Amino acid sequence: MFNTLKRDEKGIVMTEIEMPGQAGIKRRDLHFFWVLDASASMTGSKIYSLNHAIREALPAMQAEAALHPEVNLLVRVVTFGYSVKWHVPTPTPVAQFQHLDVQPDGSTPMGEALGLVANAMAGIRGRNVPPVIVVVTDGQPTDNFEDGLAKLMATEYGPKSIRLGIAIGADAKHEPLLKFINNAEYPVLDANNPAAVAACIKWVSTIAVKAASNPRGAEPIVPPAVSSGAEVWID
């Protein structure tokens, strides 16, 4: 691997990375944000299923990224519950990313979590592919969700981002996720049991990389086939 320094039209120095055997390929960053509900209502098999699903989906995510050598996939994680915080604060190359279990407690400050992502998005510089933001929740925001969403959309990359949402449980509210996604091409994904959580997490892990790496409309967006039967959460 070697780096090439160049200046953009504003005189900002950028680093272009060329991989061995891929001479001439200019890599652009793809920032991927998991925004995970860590509220008390996620306690039990919901949070277990979410943690397990993200770990199990990593190989597929890494394999999809490997198909796009022009993209440098960087992963971060925000959790919202008793507090809103960076669970994985550093943009981590997907090949090195390891999921750390989320521990639930508290309420559902989803708006504040989006505000935290907005702060990170404001710091993104250079030529990048559209960032990806995936919100996973089982509840209704307990704070000013609209304010957090507005902050996100006020950033340069907010409106350009690919925004996906997973609703865990039959009583999860769709309205906030629909406002967050704001794109008929991407429906809210319902995950009413552990198997559905796994299917949804794997789908968003791969489709987001495909969609961000390729021109819009290059291939149809087909949501995963998940069971719509009764919940089987065991708490």
Write down all domains in the chain, each with its CATH number in brackets. 28-213 (3.40.50.410)
What are the phi and psi torsion angles at 162 (to 5°)? -95, 120
CA quadruple 184, 88, 52, 176: dihedral sign: negative
Taking only the tens place, the pLDDT of each residue in 146-189 is 999 999 999 999 999 999 999 999 888 899 999 999 998 889 99
Question: Within 13 A of 160's CA, how many CA atoms are on the CB side?
Answer: 15
Residue 216's pLDDT band (cuts 50, 70, 90): low
Residue 229 has what pLDDT? Answer: 47
Residue 234 has what pLDDT? Answer: 42
What is the spatial distance between Cα 204 and Cα 34, in angstroms, rounded to a whole number? 10
Residue 225 has what pLDDT? Answer: 59
Residue 20's pLDDT band (cuts 50, 70, 90): very low
What are the phi and psi torsion angles at 208 (to 5°)? -65, -40
3-state secondary structure of 198: helix
Residue 22 in this model has a pLDDT that exceeds 70: no
Residue 209's pLDDT band (cuts 50, 70, 90): confident
What is the spatial distance between Cα 46 and Cα 202, in angstroms, rounded to a whole number? 16
What is the spatial distance between Cα 201 and Cα 107, in angstroms, rounded to a whole number? 23
Residue 217's pLDDT band (cuts 50, 70, 90): very low
Residue 112 in this model has a pLDDT that exceeds 60: yes
Residue 12's pLDDT band (cuts 50, 70, 90): very low
Identity of residue 181: I
Average pLDDT, the chain: 84
Taking only the tens place, the pLDDT of each residue in 49-62 is 999 999 999 999 99
% of the chain beyond a pLDDT of 70: 80
Which residue has better confidence, 204 or 216?
204
Tokens 């160049």, residue located: 6
Residue 128 has what pLDDT? Answer: 85
Range from 65-69, 127-131, 174-178, 226-230 carrying the lowest mean pLDDT:
226-230
CA quadruple 75, 44, 177, 139: dihedral sign: negative
Instruction: List the one residue out of 191, 212, 84 whose CA is nearest residue 142.
Output: 84
3-state secondary structure of 176: helix
3-state secondary structure of 225: coil
Residue 25 in this model has a pLDDT that exceeds 70: no
Residue 28 in this model has a pLDDT that exceeds 60: yes
What is the spatial distance between Cα 192 and Cα 167, in angstroms, rounded to a whole number? 8
Which residue has better confidence, 11 or 45?
45
Q: For residues 130 and 86, is the Cβ–Cβ distance under 8 A?
A: no
What average pLDDT does this structure show over 118-126?
89
